[in-house]
Amino acid sequence: MIPTPQAKLCGVGLRAPHHHEWATRRPTCAVLEIHAENYFASGGAIPALLADLRRDYPLSIHGVGLGLGSSAPMDTVHLQQLKALVTRYEPTRVSEHLAWSTYNGMHHNDLLPLPYTDESLMHMVSRVTQLQDYLQRPVLIENLSSYVGFEDSTLNECEFLAALAARSGCSILLDINNLYINACNHGFDPKKFFDALHKTPVDEIHLAGHTIEIIGEIPMRLDTHGSAVCESVWQLYREALQHFGPTLTIIEWDTDLPALEVLLKEAECAEKITLESYANAN
Amino acid sequence: MPTLINIQRAFSEVILCTTVPNGPMLVYHHNYRANFRSALALEFPVIETLVGKHCFTVLAQQYQTQHPSRSGDLHHIGEQFSSFLAQEYQHSPYAYFADVAVLEWAWQECLIAPDTLAVDPTALTACASERLPKVRLQLQPSLRLVNSKWPVVTIWETNRSDSSPTGLIELALGAEWALIYRTLGGAALRRCSAAEHAFLIALKAQAELESAVADAYAIDAAFNLGRLLEELFRDALITEVYAGVSPLGSGTKNT
């Protein structure tokens, strides 16, 4: 269904320092995104707050700790906790990453890049299928920001994502900031990414800020989620909307968190671009 | 072509290696330590204040080497931090750090423990007086009890991020006891006496009321049972009252 201009599509990440303000002010927002692992607790004030907010806001539950691409078996306790969360809060979207995170029983608690090979693809298809079967609902898989590539990769990331979506039935969470970072760090044209995904469902978009640091004498863009969305990413977002149409969009901000008002203004900006995109398409 | 598992093994080895890599792998090497440190600092803010940011970073790295994360949920990583600190600072003037960490971890556990409905005092007062000695009281699963031979409650209260340190604390102040319990918005700490602590420890171990009271009186003949029970009911800390001699769970529930 093509959303009408009246249907707001842009939201922000719900983060702990803003909990009180959300609880008391209830600002207008199309959707709240939560990081699943921060709400696994079965009792206490946090689940109570989320249940309260859920009455007024749709939720998008975004997992960051499952490590779907890990060669190690999936953590069944983690899966159970995720399912309990999904069952309790009935989110509009459930998503995870195209990443791995565990090896030999140790969890790196980071989103680590996969080589894009046939073996990895089969592995991810199997894992995403397992996740969807367990949750009994489709999930979205997010493209990753990465700082290294693998010589053994036989596909690029967008080909990998398109094949993953086609074979598993998942849809894509397109992080425009991640795409921009990768395009700069690895040297490719991000618009080709959109072309490669033209038959793939993109059901959510993320926007965030990043920084530039010198790593080994080379300037690299790092996915810090600690600043405003930069103009280049806004521009890429405009172009993404031309390809994929109006799409649920989340502003993510996780470090050096500013006042909630700053996040809401970023969401307003995304909303304005969405409306312009809608007007242009009609 | 290397298999996926071999690529992940090689990647992990670079991340875990104490030698800092050159180039982009530096980012992952750094993230592994920084993410762990940040999560640990959120769970132990007073320890971070006490040791200082730099020292906390060093401690976090040593602790991570000994007790790496095993879960995608970083909320579990602090479980063994107090025992790590106990070993690290044994025979030092800072041996009390471990007990401060016990208190901070108890606070974290209290915040996320399951919710259970409390009973009101009539659950106890309805019980025939001759049966009271054999009554067992079940406490909120979120309730945590803390005791230390050092004044850790004073140290914790003084160094919390939302209060300003108010000068030196004399360790010779001696032992302190406290209970940490769930409130509507989070958690609260209340100091208690050694006798009250012994009484609550006994209740947690599912002792009968007469046995728990005996433990308290053995420490302090002035132990005030009525006042403590009144406070426990007022703060919604009693979730079940069982009468009779049968084990907890199969007795007569007075609710």
CB A127 within 8 A of CB A159: no
Whether B173 has a pLDDT exceeding 60, the answer reads: yes
Whether B193 has a pLDDT exceeding 80, the answer reads: yes
The DSSP secondary structure of A124-180, one letter per residue, reads HHHHHHHHHHHHTS--EEEPPP-S---TT--S-HHHHHHHHHHHH--EEEEEHHHHH
Whether B179 has a pLDDT exceeding 50, the answer reads: yes
CA distance B59 to chain A (A): 18
Residue B112 forms part of a structural domain:
no
Q: What is the pLDDT of residue B246?
A: 47
In A, which residues are within 8 Å of B33 by CB distance?
A: none
Chain-chain contact of B26 with A215 (C-beta, under 8 angstroms): yes
In A, which residues are within 8 Å of B24 by CB distance?
A: 147-148, 185, 215-216, 218, 220
CA distance A43 to chain B (A): 4
Query: Residue B163's pLDDT band (boundaries 50, 70, 90)?
Result: low
Instruction: Give the residue from A49, A52, A62, A108 with the most B CB atoms within 10 Å of its CB, the best one to mutate.
Output: A108
Chain-chain contact of B73 with A78 (C-beta, under 8 angstroms): yes
Sheet holding B187-192, edge to edge: B144-148, B176-182, B187-192
**Per-residue pLDDT tens digits for B7-20:** 999 999 999 999 99
Query: Residue B244's pLDDT band (boundaries 50, 70, 90)?
Result: low
Facing residues of B139 across strands? B238
Full residue range of the structural domain in which residue B57 is found: 1-80
Q: Quote ipTM for the complex.
A: 0.94
Q: What count of CB pairs under 8 Å joins A to B?
A: 130
> C-alpha A105: how far from its chain's center?
25
Residue B61 forms part of a structural domain:
yes
- Flag whether residue A108 sits within 8 Å of chain B, measured between CB atoms: yes
In B, which residues are within 8 Å of A67 by CB distance?
A: 72
Chain-chain contact of B8 with A100 (C-beta, under 8 angstroms): yes
Closest in B11, B73, B113 to A40, CB measured:
B73
Q: Is B107 left (phi over 0), alpha (psi -120 to 50) or beta?
A: alpha
Number of structural domains in chain B: 1
Looking at this protein, which amino acid is placed at residue A242?
Q
Residue B50 forms part of a structural domain:
yes
Q: What is the pLDDT of residue B243?
A: 83
Residue B157 forms part of a structural domain:
no
Closest in A103, A114, A123 to B12, CB measured:
A103
pLDDT tens for chain A, 282 residues long, are 444 545 689 999 999 999 999 999 999 999 999 999 999 998 999 999 999 999 999 999 999 999 999 999 999 999 999 999 999 999 999 999 999 999 999 999 999 999 999 999 999 999 999 999 999 999 999 999 999 999 999 999 999 999 999 999 999 999 999 999 999 999 999 999 999 998 999 999 999 999 999 998 889 999 999 999 999 999 999 999 999 999 999 999 999 999 999 999 999 999 999 999 888 877
Chain-chain contact of B111 with A71 (C-beta, under 8 angstroms): no
Q: Which helix (H) or strand (E) holds B60?
A: helix B53-66
Instruction: Give the residue from A106, A125, A255 with the most B CB atoms within 10 Å of its CB, the best one to mutate.
Output: A106
Residue B68 forms part of a structural domain:
yes
Residue B73 forms part of a structural domain:
yes
Considering only CB atoms, which residues of chain B are within 8 Å of chain A?
1-5, 7-9, 11-12, 15-16, 22-28, 31-32, 35-36, 39, 68-75, 110-116, 141-142, 182, 184-186
* DSSP 3-state of A257: coil
Chain-chain contact of A108 with B32 (C-beta, under 8 angstroms): yes
Residue B120 forms part of a structural domain:
no
**Per-residue pLDDT tens digits for B76-129:** 999 999 999 999 999 999 999 999 999 999 999 999 999 899 999 999 998 888
In B, which residues are within 8 Å of A152 by CB distance?
A: 1-2, 7
Instruction: Give the residue from A24, A102, A107 with the most B CB atoms within 10 Å of its CB, the best one to mutate.
Output: A107
Domains of chain A (ranges plus CATH)?
10-281 (3.20.20.150)
Query: Residue B226's pLDDT band (boundaries 50, 70, 90)?
Result: very high
CB A251 within 8 A of CB A10: yes
Phi, psi (5° rounding) for residue A194? -65, -40
Q: What is the pLDDT of residue B247?
A: 39
Residue B135, classified by CB atoms within 10 Å of its CB into exposed (0-12), middle (13-18) or buried (19+), is buried
CA distance B190 to chain A (A): 18
Residue B250 forms part of a structural domain:
no
In A, which residues are within 8 Å of B185 by CB distance?
A: 45
